[in-house]
Amino acid sequence: MNYDFQFGAVFAAWPLLLEGTWKTIELSVLAMLGGLAVAIVCAWAKTAGPAPLRWLVNAYIELIRNTPFLVQLFFFFFALPAIGLRWSAHTAALTAMIVNLGAYATEIIRAGIEAIPKGQIEAGLALNLKAHQIFRFIVLKPALKAIYPALTSQFILLMLSSSVVSVISADDLTSVASNLQSQTFRSFEIYIVVALIYLALALSFQTVFRLVYRRTFHYPDRR
């Protein structure tokens, strides 16, 4: 191998890379919040809603989980504007991410709700807890604890798959990499550095999530 690695051009562009990293974080966090909101509503509809609504939510979940994110992105960016919905690449990307995460998170949250044994709620009633106390201490917290690992790893998957939005020229870390690549032709070096940034992001999120878990859910399990 006689290739002369030149990282100079990549590191010279650090403000751009930093900006791209920030945009990826922003996009992922916004999509996470939006996706969670969608998922909470859908999880309620799926567990307690009327039959037609349940059927609709099921169709949504199956449709999203059995098609690639890239195709969903193309659908939001190319197909919907063709029928009159005009929006920017950024909005289309964010919407696609919210819709995508919403489907996966619905299933996770539903599993969390169903994981609470009925006997525990009855025990709460027997101890004369108020309804909001039962919800907060007996349903919500254990349910969140049960789904926390699945939900956070889904978030990291979402953050990583957000690199695909660069294809429709939405702003993110990978699109910065693609622009740099076409200016400097140092594609290998750029993608190595950007892949390492993603790895650092994934590891940092993992660490933050673990710390939050330890602070919030540190109490003994029923055993």
Q: Which residues bind another protein (CB under 8 A)?
A: 1, 3, 62-63, 65-72, 74-75, 78-80, 82-83, 160-164, 166-167, 174, 177, 181, 187-188, 191-192, 194-195, 198-199, 202-203
Residue 143 beta carbon to another protein: minimum distance, rounded to whole angstroms: 20
Closest CB to another protein among 136 and 210? 210
Closest CB to another protein among 100 and 138? 100
Backbone angles phi, psi at 221, to 5 degrees: -80, 160
10, 190 Cβ separation under 8 angstroms: yes
Residue 78 beta carbon to another protein: minimum distance, rounded to whole angstroms: 4
Closest CB to another protein among 140 and 150? 150
Closest CB to another protein among 125 and 203? 203
